[in-house]
Structure 1
Amino acid sequence: MKAKLGMSPIAWWNDDLAELSDDVSLEECLRQSRSAGFTGMEMGRRFPSDPDVMLPILREADVTLCGGWFSGTLVDEEMARNKDRIQPMIDLFKAVNAPCIVYGEVGRSIQGDRSKPLATKPKLSGDEMKAYARRLTEFGEWCAEQGMPLSYHHHMAAVVETEPELDAFMRHSGEGIPLLLDAGHLAFAGGDVLRAIDNHHKRINHVHVKDVRMGVIDSLDRTRQSFLDAVALGAFTVPGDGSLDFGAIVQRLADNGYEGWFVVEAEQDPKKNPPLKMAQVGYKELMRVMTASGYTVETQGFPNA
């Protein structure tokens, strides 16, 4: 089985917490991640939006674009508005041959609001979840028809956070909206990562190998502290530096036939946790567990670099 290893630039620059950002260029971010062994990078705020500008940068770094976040609002906002906003991203991602766009629901979400405690996260009624899942399926089908599949990101502090919420969303949605499995977000929400893989592996088309520090998570006062407070306190880290058993997680994905991208997304303070060092730690651990699980990890970055 084949796999590819990528990173998210959130280890270098945090869009929600400016204080958790390193003053490094896009080129330096790509150089560091590639030197650690990673062949892909998800899109971040310092990436150009013009493929004619982006492609030479990726080629020079020998890195491919392996995804990127779209802030969706389909829980509240009409389909047409979301189509209009995502179309330029579809065009860009097709031009640089990215595998998918990551759909993250920000409607009603408190993930970017430090004044809102975790316990106040939005919740959908059963009927609301059914309608929402149907809209996402339709939207995912439309994006695929445009030539770019989506990958739905369950997320802390959003409308699909917990394992029961994920199960309900998957039950009422269809194959038109594939799933991004994020081990760290599911563990933070109290879910069972291995059970989620067993239940939903047929729809998984992208994986975030985010690790967590359960000591930090368990000490949170969710009636008072926010998702961003948890990030600032160090709730997340790279595989090999946290509490999750990625040997078991990767093995379960292998057992269920997953092939594709494994992306390290680990936002934390770059001064306390230098991104290059953390990238090296994450890559070493992933290569260890992926080799043990029978994966062949692709080493080529930008095609024909």
Structure 2
Amino acid sequence: MFENKKIRLGIAPIGWTNDDMPELGKENSFEQCISEVALAGFTGTEVGGRFPTDPVILKKSLELRRIKIASKWFSSFLCTTPYEENEEAFIKQLYFLELLGANRINVCELSYNLFAKECSMFGDKKPVATDEEWQSLTEGLNKLGKIATERGFKLCFHHHMATVVQTIEETQRLLDHTNPEDVYLCYDTGHFTFSSEDAVEAARLFGPRIGHVHLKDIRRERMEAAIAEGYKFRKAVLEGCFTVPGDGFVDFMGVFKALEESGYEGWFLVEAEQDPALANPFEYALKARQYIKKMTGL
């Protein structure tokens, strides 16, 4: 599978240390994280909150372990703050990533997000944007995307649970109103699944626009409990709803086939928000790597 395709495998640091909940994995160092990434057989990662902020120091540490930076999260607030503020912060992140040799940046719209809210992320609690805010979002993404393209990057929009762009319908709306030459999708198997969507259908539907891939699995019984009981986002993480590929019910063979048929090339990044005290990061990294090899031969 993926013969003659340029596919690289990475794993995000969130399994070792959680930027949204810093108490998770506070005992795990940056050095431990990237050393175990390499030992597990991955060649890339994404920038984490505990990574050195000096790109020279960071690059040296990564090169010692033959690890590349695939991308970095960027929080946009295009619905609710002036575009200029978003652009200034965005350009700073592009500069940082340029120094590390990366060419992807994952943008997630966090206006009204419920990541830290003490309320359910389901039903009428789910964030929504007005038509005017949608226009601000898509127009802003087109501008940021053009800047990224001119600097050799792909802006990859990250649909996400507990945000205004979560479902297939919302993702379609965003892609329909953005420039396909400048705005791509950071496709996440777990977030589509948790949103009661078909991850395989999404991969087929959005294939030509996918610029980056997050491989995340979902434990069915825990997801069903989360929906039934109206979990807040952080509770879903703490209750073990998310896990690595092969440890849940996502149809990854279907996902891989759809991505292969679309001609996808780029990174596959394993990303699973778990409590490292309950799910040993190195153990789960090895599980994910072995599963991907079994499914794809990569």
- Please confirm whether the aligned pair reaches a TM-score higher than 0.5, indicating the same fold: yes
Paired residue for 2:205? Answer: 199
Identity of aligned residues (%): 33
* 2:29 pairs with 1:28: no
Runs of 4+ in 1 over 6 A off after TM superposition: none
SS at the partner of 1:219? Answer: helix
Query: Where in structure 2 are the equivalents of 1:249-260 lying within 5 Å?
Result: 249-260=255-266
Bigger shift: residues 86-95 or 222-231: 222-231
Equivalent position amino acid for 1:100 in 2: R
* 2:119 pairs with 1:116: yes
- 1:91 aligns with one of 88, 95, 98: 95
Paired residue for 2:187? Answer: 181
Paired residue for 1:82? Answer: 86
Query: Where in structure 2 are the equivalents of 1:42-53 lying within 5 Å?
Result: 42-53=46-57
Q: Give me the TM-score of the superposition, normalised by structure 1.
A: 0.91
- 1:272-301 deviation line (CA, Å, top 9, x unaligned): 11000000000011111122xxxxx4xxxx
Equivalent position amino acid for 2:159 in 1: H
CA contact (8 A) 1:118 1:222 kept: no
- 2:147 aligns with one of 142, 145, 154: 142
Q: Distance in 2 between matches of 1:178 and 1:288?
A: 28
Bigger shift: residues 255-264 or 145-154: 145-154
Equivalent position amino acid for 1:268 in 2: Q
* 2:173 pairs with 1:172: no
CA contact (8 A) 2:78 2:136 kept: no
Bigger shift: residues 120-129 or 277-286: 120-129
Q: 1:43 to 1:141 in 2, by over 3 A?
A: same
CA contact (8 A) 2:77 2:111 kept: yes
1:221 Cα deviation from its structure 2 partner: 4.7
SS at the partner of 2:183? Answer: coil
1:25 Cα deviation from its structure 2 partner: 1.5
Paired residue for 1:18? Answer: 22
* 2:7 pairs with 1:3: yes
Paired residue for 2:105? Answer: 101
Paired residue for 2:77? Answer: 73
Q: Distance in 2 between matches of 1:221 and 1:195?
A: 21
SS at the partner of 1:178? Answer: strand
Number of residue pairs matched? Answer: 291
Q: Could you list the runs of 5+ residues in structure 1 that have no partner in the other structure?
A: 292-296, 298-305
* 2:291 pairs with 1:288: no
* 2:171 pairs with 1:162: no
Equivalent position amino acid for 1:246 in 2: F
CA contact (8 A) 2:45 2:71 kept: yes
Q: 1:233 to 1:51 in 2, by over 3 A?
A: same
- 1:151-191 deviation line (CA, Å, top 9, x unaligned): 10000000101111111111112211111100000000011
Q: Distance in 1 between matches of 2:229 and 2:179?
A: 34
CA contact (8 A) 2:10 2:45 kept: yes
SS at the partner of 1:20? Answer: coil
